[in-house]
Amino acid sequence: MKRQDIVFLARILVFVTLLTHGVSAFSALKPPSPYIDVGACPFECCVYRKWLAERTVVVFDQPNGKKVSQLAKGEWVQALDGATYSIPLRIVASRDVPEASIHPGDVFYVLHYEGESYWLIWFNGKTYDAEAGDKRQPKTTWWVRVKRTDGSVGWVKAGGGAFSNQDQCGSSPSANVSP
54 Rama sector, left if φ>0, alpha if ψ -120 to 50, beta otherwise: alpha
Query: Is there a single domain that holds both residue 41 and residue 81?
Result: yes
11 pLDDT higher than 50: no
| pTM for the predicted model, two decimal places | 0.75
Q: Output the average pLDDT for the chain.
A: 83
| Same-domain status, 142 and 83 | yes
Shared domain for 78 and 142, answered yes or no, is yes
Question: Based on the domain organization, do 84 and 35 belong to the same domain?
Answer: yes
Other Cβ atoms less than 10 A from the Cβ of 108: the count is: 24
The reported pLDDT for the residue numbered 135 is 78
Out of 88-92, 167-171, 174-178, the most confident range is: 88-92
109 with 80, same domain: the answer is no
Number of domains in the chain: 3
8 A C-beta contact, residue 46 and residue 115: yes
One domain for residues 160 and 128: no
For residues 83 and 36, state if they share a domain. yes
Q: How many CB atoms lie within 10 A of CB 126?
A: 10
Q: Kindly indicate the confidence band of residue 71, based on its pLDDT and cuts at 50, 70 and 90.
A: very high
Indicate if the alpha-carbon torsion angle 55, 60, 62, 66 is positive or negative: negative
pLDDT at 87 > cutoff 70: yes
- Verify that 37 and 77 share a domain, yes or no: yes
Domain range enclosing 124: 89-136
Range in 17-26, 61-70, 136-145 the model is least confident about? 17-26
- Co-location of 73 and 161 in the same domain: yes
Residues 104 and 115 in one domain: yes
- Answer for the pair 33, 87: CB distance below 8 angstroms, yes or no: yes
* pLDDT surpassing 70 at residue 27: no
Do 146 and 77 belong together in one domain? yes
Query: Which of 2-11, 43-52, 57-66 is predicted least confidently?
Result: 2-11
Q: What's the CATH code of the domain at 38?
A: 2.30.30.40
147 shares a domain with 110: no
Q: How confident is the model at residue 23 (pLDDT cuts 50, 70, 90)?
A: very low
What is the C-alpha end-to-end distance of the chain, expressed in Å?
A: 85
